Structure 1
Amino acid sequence: MNAQHRQSDAPQDQEAISTFVERFAAQLVEAGMARMPARVFACLLSSDTGVLTSAELGERLQISPAAVSGAVRYLSQVDMVSREREPGSRRDRYRVHSDQWYEALARRENVLTRWESTLRDGVESLGKASPAGRRLNETLVFFDFLQKELPVMLERWREYRDELRADYDSAGD
């Protein structure tokens, strides 16, 4: 890792950053994420570059290389971080993208489609009139609603984000 990368990613108040990381990670855990992936994600999210090596993550979070490895494996599987090779090195680095939440939601469409298919089969198997069938059907209808609304909402977000970026760019002039 070069010195320029380290300098641009050095937080001014390490204690405040660490407090944020632990607080946000705890909230992600409360929402159902495992503790170590939550801490690694919050750490990446709070770094200036959004990119850290395994060693940097371990040092910042005071965790073992094995803990970092397990956390980034999970975060990669759920498309919350990507792994890339550091130029001129054999070390991997992990990146959280600026449009992380948008990308995560956009990729969920495939998951929702698979869930809808399985739920349809479940409704047919249990019968739409049974209590379990009604419950599954309500879930199916909810996911169908999300499938229709999500693209519209994501398009509105892209427009809003582009306006914000234009405002930031013009403020910097």
Structure 2
Amino acid sequence: MTNDNKQEIENLGTFFEGRGMTPMEARVFALLLLSEPHYQDFFTIQEKLSASKSAISNAVNRLMNAKRVDYLTLPADRKRYFKVNPNQWLAEMKVEIAAVAPMLEKVNGILRKRADMDTPEFNEELERVRDFFAFMAKEFPRLIAKWEKKNAKARSGVSVL
């Protein structure tokens, strides 16, 4: 693996760390996303990431338990090959988007409690946050419906331009 590939994996891994994955989970996930073929066996993952068996095993198991990674087998080959589960990734994004409405409720509750407090500038900033969540709570369902309609047409072979 070239230094450029290692750096790309590191950069993408750092991004996924920021999204809640452990450092090794994030590197494994990044490696699988950037590998050709898009699936890799355990020892290849270990070798490419220069990590211990234990570290890779724990990361792969956690990714599989979260359904972020699946495995496949190939005919006449006893190895298991690990690959990213794009459908789970999409499902996780939808869950994050769905969390906008409850966050809006929380911010509204905070603003109600702060109504009598003598910090108008701070309250105005919180109102701006609330307005953002209100906008997103309204727009995300429309965007998802539009995307799903477009995706359904694309899968059926209908032109979506």
- TM-score of the two chains, using structure 2 as the length reference: 0.60
- Counterpart of 2:45? 57
| Structure possessing the higher radius of gyration over alpha carbons | 2
Q: In structure 2, which of residues 121, 128, 141 is the aligned counterpart of residue 138 of structure 1? A: 128
- Counterpart of 2:154? 163
Structure 1 unaligned blocks of 5 or more? 1-13, 168-173
Q: Identity, % of aligned pairs? A: 20
Q: 1:51 to 1:113 in 2, by over 3 A?
A: farther
Q: CA deviation at 1:122?
A: 1.3
Structure 1 distance, partners of 2:84, 2:49, is 16
Q: 1:119 to 1:28 in 2, by over 3 A?
A: farther
Count, aligned residues: 148
Structure 2 distance, partners of 1:165, 1:42, is 31
Q: 1:131 to 1:74 in 2, by over 3 A?
A: farther
1:118 aligns with 2:109: no
Map 1:1-173 onto structure 2 (within 5 A).
14-15=1-2, 19-20=4-5, 22-23=7-8, 25-27=10-12, 29=14, 32-33=18-19, 35-48=23-36, 50-52=38-40, 54-68=42-56, 71=59, 81-82=68-69, 95-99=83-87, 102-127=90-115, 130-158=120-148, 159=150, 163=154, 166=157
Structure 2 distance, partners of 1:162, 1:136, is 40
My pick for the range that moved more, 37-46 or 60-69, is 60-69
Conservation of the 8 A alpha-carbon contact between 1:81 and 1:94: no
* 2:33 partner letter: L
RMSD value over aligned CA atoms?
Answer: 4.1
Q: CA deviation at 1:133?
A: 2.2
Structure 2 distance, partners of 1:63, 1:165, is 43
Structure 2 distance, partners of 1:156, 1:40, is 33
Structure 1 distance, partners of 2:27, 2:15, is 12
Structure 2 unaligned blocks of 5 or more? none
Q: 1:24 to 1:82 in 2, by over 3 A?
A: closer
Q: CA deviation at 1:124?
A: 1.4
Q: CA deviation at 1:58?
A: 2.2
Structure 2 distance, partners of 1:69, 1:122, is 43
Q: CA deviation at 1:143?
A: 1.7
Q: 1:23 to 1:84 in 2, by over 3 A?
A: closer
Q: 1:43 to 1:118 in 2, by over 3 A?
A: same
